[in-house]
Structure 1
């Protein structure tokens, strides 16, 4: 993890444009494992060990800077890849905003 990251603030406001960008990125990079509603039930999930996280449960447990780092660096011991080579910092922040939106609806609708 990055030293000093606990001081990071999400510089991207969670407006409609950011959520749209985040949704696009989520569909491209996250749906195969986490599923459209973030419940960890994507088409590849049954083949992964450990299974993908239920983002609706896990996202609220972490501040934005931790979510950013998990996306950027991946999670050792899991199939969660580091996306630092594929996404810019701004794109990761859009994704963080979209992940937050998944947890704000009790009945998240799949993509």
Structure 2
């Protein structure tokens, strides 16, 4: 006779261990996904080389519409058609108290590297395009601060 318990007794124990392992994985995933961005000091000090101009903002609005609006919404409020698919929810880009303290370099770092569920745009957009989006983020926050939301010309 074998010293091992019958298979019928081992199965519940194995299932229990598998369930515990899966739960631990889900919890760890949730904790790490909701943790704050870790922005390197060097990235924080980067300055936007793109000068604010009607052409740069127009290009940024086009990029935003194509790459960002499906999650962040047409006006940047985080209410795009795909927003409810993601946890954490897409950021409200018009919320001045969270947006204004961040440097242009921080925005650029986030756009470039992404962080789940937000994709990284380093390979999808040129460096200039990513900096153009930083201009638009500043415009969203400025308009929200003065008028309650981006102007119609920014909505496209």
Say yes or no: TM over 0.5.
yes
Q: Which of these residues, 57, 60, 66, is aligned with residue 28 of structure 1?
A: 66
Q: How much has 1:46 moved relative to structure 2?
A: 1.2
Structure 2: gaps spanning 5 or more residues: 1-38
Q: Distance in 2 between matches of 1:3 and 1:44?
A: 32
Residue 4 (structure 1) aligns with: 42
**With CA pairs under 8 Å and 6+ residues apart, which has the higher RCO, 1 or 2?**
1
Q: Distance in 1 between matches of 2:73 and 2:66?
A: 11
Instruction: Give the TM-score normalised by structure 1.
Output: 0.89
Residue 99 (structure 1) aligns with: 137
Count of paired positions: 109
RMSD: 1.5
Residue 51 (structure 2) aligns with: 13
Structure 1: gaps spanning 5 or more residues: none
More helix by share: 2
SS across alignment from 1:8:
coil
Residue 77 (structure 2) aligns with: 39
Q: How much has 1:10 moved relative to structure 2?
A: 0.6
Rg comparison, structure with higher value: 2
Q: How much has 1:5 moved relative to structure 2?
A: 2.2
Q: How much has 1:60 moved relative to structure 2?
A: 1.7
Residue 53 (structure 1) aligns with: 91
Q: Which of these residues, 102, 106, 111, is aligned with residue 62 of structure 1?
A: 102
Q: How much has 1:107 moved relative to structure 2?
A: 2.6
